[in-house]
Amino acid sequence: MSELSGLPTGIGSLPHKATAEALELIFKCCPQIPFWPQLPKRDMREGMLAQFSEGLPCIEISAAGVVFNPSDKEKKLEEFYANLISPESDYKKDPFKINQEYAQGLYAFYQRLEGSNLSQVKYIKCHITGPFTFAASLKNEKGVALLHDPVFMQVIIEGLARKALWQIKFLEEFGKKIIIFIDEPYLGCFGSAYTPINKEGVIKGLGNLFQKIKNFTGVLTGIHCCGNTDWSIFTDIPTLDIINFDAFNYQDKLLLYADNLKVFFNNDRILCWGIVPTQEFSDKITTAALVKKINDGIDVLAKKGVDRGKLSGNLLLSPSCGMGTLTPDKAESILKTLSEISEKIRG
């Protein structure tokens, strides 16, 4: 994985309303691993639930946002599984495609790739909202979160996996390797009274989703979790290649999992350090301080027996979280700082 060592990429959301401005910033600051931007300020359909809701039964968009509508539930479930077991070979007709009005950033990203010299691009990064975050955000007709509705939890896992596969098919024509992140902010509270789910269920659900994605040769799977969690949830999923964590706020918590990370790195997997803070970012945060923070973290893990060469070689960089709620100027400063850190780390 040395080809990835120290390269920067983004999480997903940006605060821009103009796709051209968002893409210009991405290709300037993350040229080796560009990502398509979610633009929730442009349209509510680009929010992290709405953007991936098409084709999922009983999940609709209303003036109140994304809601669960139980009418004709059995019929809609039947149609969903019919679509699932009879996949459309032409991705343009796939019932699980993400349409342009839900993802202007994705389609503009495609056009930008189509018209660019891609010699610098090593990987193309995609993303979907994770199934636990998605299911925890919606309630069924009984007022129970879909997270605890086994029928719809499975529907969401299967449907989101197809959204991921559609993106891979959509972008594979550019001949670049693909990274796809599953964004799971909900799991940042795992283990608290507010996340009443068990570790085995999380590992099984995410492992099932990642396995479907791994059917595509050469695709790297990643997970983004921007809070503190039981990191062994992710190190124990054999089909997960990249863990992305908030290194600015929670690096000390991750360092407690050195034994788990030994096994993780022995399987040639990757840690993506979300080193540049988003909400907390200011002019007082320097590139030098953030580089030092990463190096200090590597030192601690190396002293605990994690292979230093793999810590340095299997290392990606990102902001600590998405930037959809920020201002364009702040997002630009964050990505420029990220690019500077990459240059220092690689140098």
DSSP one-letter string for 72-127:
THHHHHHHHHHHHHS--SSGGG-TT---GGG-HHHHHHHHHHHTS--TT--EEEEE
* pTM of structure: 0.95
CB atoms within 10 A of CB 279: 11
Tokens describing residue 274: 């979300």
Closest CA to 154 of 136, 135, 168, 182: 135
Residue percentage of the chain with pLDDT more than 90:
86
d(CA 174, CA 233): 33
Closest CA to 311 of 265, 278, 342: 265
Contact status, residue 249 vs residue 274, Cβ threshold 8 Å:
no
CB atoms within 10 A of CB 242: 22
CA Rg, the chain, in Å? 19
Find the largest Cα–Cα distance for the chain: 59
Tokens describing residue 264: 């993780």
d(CA 32, CA 34): 6
Closest CA to 177 of 89, 118, 99: 118
Amino acid present at 24? E
SS3 212: helix
The fold of the 2-346 domain, in CATH, is TIM Barrel (3.20.20)
pLDDT at 192 over 70: no
| Chain segment 166-177, per-residue pLDDT in tens | 999 999 999 999
Closest CA to 106 of 54, 37, 165, 41: 37
> Mean per-residue pLDDT for 65-78?
95
Under the banding of pLDDT at 50, 70 and 90, the label for residue 320 is very high
| Chain segment 44-53, per-residue pLDDT in tens | 999 999 999 9
d(CA 250, CA 145): 28
Under the banding of pLDDT at 50, 70 and 90, the label for residue 2 is low
| 126 bridge partner residues | 180
Tokens describing residue 306: 């994690």
DSSP strand pairing (59-62 vs 65-68): antiparallel
Tokens describing residue 253: 């918590």
